[in-house]
Amino acid sequence: MEIIDMPKLSDTMTVGTLVRWLKKEGETVAPGDTLAEVETDKATMELENFSKGVLLKHYIQEGEQVPIGAPLCAVGKAGETAPDKAPAAAQAPVIAAASTPAPAPTPVVVVPAATVSVPAATSQERIKASPLAKKVAITEGIALQGITGTGPAGRIIRADVLAALEKGVKGGSTLSLSGATYSPKIETKTFPVTALRGAIARRLTESKLQNPHFYLEIEVDAAPMETMRQTLNAFFAEHTNGETKLTVNDIILRATALALAQVPGVNASWQDTTIAQHGHVHLSFGVAIEDGLLTPVIKDAETKSLRQISAEAKALIGKARAKKLKPDEMSGSTFTVTNLGMFGITSFHGIINPPNAGILSVGGTFKKPVVNERDEIVIGHRMIVGFSGDHRVVDGALGAQFLGKLKEFLEKPSILML
């Protein structure tokens, strides 16, 4: 009989969350079979089996956090009996995903007049669902009671709510408006910090405290970029059966890679006694997922065409949202791009992703009056791009030079086709 322990699946991992068992107790298993999905601080990984036999016993339930080396399951011969509890020598503490939290602070809500009342807690509050899923349900007026969850331990996630909406599932809205009475439902709750959220918190806190940030921003004429994008997409729709479709983010990534190649001092890292200027642009970009943010990396981005970057970015986004990114697909970045334009944000500044010396923050395109070359006031399509720099590596003038080169490429986007 073999006791399979929680392996170390990333260099920074200390605990993992067992998301889902893929093999049941009593099921025959062979070498190479995937026993379970485990969430690390970076991604969801597959737990591989190396023995031939029968999965005799699960020692961990779905949704529990487990330290490295703790027993997960027992695999042995058919008819063999596994102990009810893991052998004492292999025992390690298990952190239940639904452990009793410390009392949460009472929220203070400021509301107009005295006509507002907060309704008593309903059964909807007790349903296991992610915060984003509940938010979407409230917005769309869908009751969670009739929705089947596909997340860990049957938890309802955003995709489940959207799927129910597409099927026409309706229910009593948890938000009611009746005349002048506005009665929102406000939840008071705590929930466990996932391995991913914990890693994000540690890294960004360290970055903000240890890296002396400074901030620049520049306004870009986004009209030429959008015109080129629409022209190319019309061509691709006709000649590639829609297989290629460029996004604004694809163009930003290509322009950033070329700008870093032109201003390589920004494509660098602080190393205490030296500054490392990197010979290639390994470009990471933010992908929002259910419980945090992942940053897959396009390696050697400066050598890749716009279409290549677009295809690779889409593949990495798909893996990120499915939590199937491999560790090497999220490591080794030399610069990071984060884009919140699709959420209606016009400008912001991100926190540097160590060991990068900078991060680019991209806002959405918006209309405003501008003065053209003939001194006429016309409607302009503008975009604000922000830069957060590590002042130990990048000075203001160098950061401005980088943004200036990026602006040139975005306003003359035909250069990006070279």
Residues 6+ apart with CB under 8 A from 322: none
CA distances to 38, 180, 299, 315 from 329, rounded to whole Å, are 17, 53, 9, 11
Averaged confidence pLDDT in the chain: 84
Q: At what angle do helices 396-411 and 248-262 cross, to 10 degrees?
A: 130
Tell me the average pLDDT across 339-358.
95
Q: What is the pLDDT of residue 155?
A: 80
* pLDDT level of residue 130 (50, 70, 90 thresholds): confident
The tens digit of pLDDT for each residue in 159-183 reads 888 888 877 654 444 444 445 555 6
Tell me the average pLDDT across 347-367.
96
Residue 69 has pLDDT above 80, yes or no: yes
Q: What is the pLDDT of residue 198?
A: 87
Query: Residue 392, exposed/middle/buried by CB under 10 A (0-12, 13-18, 19+)?
Result: middle
The tens digit of pLDDT for each residue in 104-129 reads 433 433 333 333 433 333 444 467 78
Q: What is the pLDDT of residue 242?
A: 74
The tens digit of pLDDT for each residue in 231-260 reads 999 999 888 877 889 999 999 999 999 999
Q: What is the pLDDT of residue 191?
A: 81
Cα angle 391, 364, 213; round to 5:
10
- Percent of the chain surpassing pLDDT 90: 52
pTM of the model: 0.64
Tell me the average pLDDT across 88-102.
45
- Percent of the chain surpassing pLDDT 70: 86
Active site amino acids = 391
Give me the domains of the chain, ranges plus CATH numbers.
2-90 (2.40.50.100), 123-183 (4.10.320.10), 195-417 (3.30.559.10)
Q: What is the pLDDT of residue 132?
A: 77
Instruction: Specify whether the CB–CB gap between 335 and 256 falls below 8 A.
Output: yes
The tens digit of pLDDT for each residue in 378-395 reads 999 999 999 999 999 999
Q: Is the dihedral of CA 132, 309, 331, 284 positive or negative?
A: negative
Residue positions counted in the chain: 418
